[in-house]
Amino acid sequence: MQDPKVVIALDFDVKKEALDFVDRVDPSQCRLKVGKEMFTYFGPEFVRTLVTKKFDVFLDLKFHDIPNTVAKACIAAADLGVWMVNVHASGGEKMMIQARDGLAQFGQNKPHLIAVTVLTSMDQHQLSQIGINSSPMEHVLKLASLTQQAGLDGVVCSAQEAKVLKQTLGKDFMLVTPGIRPQGSDVGDQKRVMTPQDAMRVGVDYMVIGRPITQAQDPVAALNAINASIG
120 binds ligand LLZGTKA7 (CB under 6 A): yes
Binding-site member from 4, 5, 6, 9 for ligand LLZGTKA7 (CB under 6 A) = 9
- Judge whether 34 and 210 are in contact, CB under 8 Å: no
On the CB side of 19, CA atoms within 13 Å amount to 13
Residues 29-48 that bind ligand LLZGTKA7 (CB under 6 A): 35
The three-class DSSP label of residue 207 is strand
119 binds ligand LLZGTKA7 (CB under 6 A): yes
Residues 54-93 that bind ligand LLZGTKA7 (CB under 6 A): none
Which x/- pattern over 159-198 shows residues binding ligand LLZGTKA7 (rule: CB under 6 A)? -------------------xx--------x-x--------
Clarify whether 65 is annotated catalytic. Answer: yes
25 binds ligand LLZGTKA7 (CB under 6 A): no
The three-class DSSP label of residue 169 is helix
Binding-site member from 11, 26, 65, 198 for ligand LLZGTKA7 (CB under 6 A) = 11
- B/e letters for 108-128, b = 16+ CB within 10 Å, e = fewer, are eebbbbbbbbbbbebebeebe
102 binds ligand LLZGTKA7 (CB under 6 A): no
198: amino acid identity, one letter:
D
The count of other CB atoms within 10 Å of the CB of residue 184 is: 7
